[in-house]
Amino acid sequence: MLALILTADLTGVTELRPLDTAEEPYFYTFKVQCTSCRETHPNWVSISRFESTDISGSKGVANFVWRCKACKRESTASIKDAPKTYVHASPPTRQTIIEFDCRGLEFTAFQANGEWMAKGLETPTKFNSIDLAEGEWYDFDEKSGEEVSIKDVKWEIRRA
């Protein structure tokens, strides 16, 4: 099991999470490495919890099935549950966003492509279309009259 861990400095917002519904799935984008021969795939790969692929030679399915070009081994990854929300903490803390059951592969780097959402820390304001690709985001909460932000975004992939 691998976990995608987020650490971020949230100001005026909380409950940060990817927009990940059946109607609008989030595609988690990673660099992938074979655990057998340690070859790293040259391209970024995307995985959605709403898509599944048959595993060859098995009746099982996985969200991501990959065959290493170097050693020809087939590997799989499946998302275990819906993503968890990142809640405001001062100072910022490491929090698990999502967990993967990986067989024969490891994710080595993450790109935050896609939309995220959050809500106001002390107001009911909902913030949609948050883009974390640059590692920071700024907006204004009209109900509180304050600037809100997400800064110092750091991603880790660790054993769960």
- pLDDT tens string 97-156: 999 999 999 999 999 999 999 999 999 999 999 999 999 999 999 999 999 999 999 999
Residue with tokens 């099935």: 65
CA distances from 13 to 51, 135, 141 (A): 30, 16, 9
First to last CA, the chain: 5
Q: To the nearest whole number, what is the mean pLDDT of the chain?
A: 95
Residue 68's nearest CA partner among 43, 95, 88, 41 is: 41
- pLDDT tens string 5-18: 999 999 999 999 99
pLDDT of 21 over the 90 cut = yes
What string of H, E and C letters represents the secondary structure of 126-139? EEEEEECCCCCEEE
Residue 122 tokens read as: 């002390």
The reported pLDDT for the residue numbered 160 is: 86
Largest Cα–Cα distance in the chain?
A: 58
Arithmetic mean of pLDDT, 82-89: 96
Other CB atoms closer than 10 Å to residue 6's CB: what's the count?
A: 23
The reported pLDDT for the residue numbered 58 is: 81
- pLDDT tens string 25-37: 999 999 999 999 9
The reported pLDDT for the residue numbered 59 is: 84
Residue with tokens 């599944």: 52
Could you give the CA distance from residue 123 to residue 121 in angstroms, rounded to a whole number? 6
Could you give the CA distance from residue 39 to residue 151 in angstroms, rounded to a whole number? 33
Residue 11, judged by CB atoms within 10 A of its CB (0-12, 13-18, 19+), counts as middle
The reported pLDDT for the residue numbered 57 is: 84
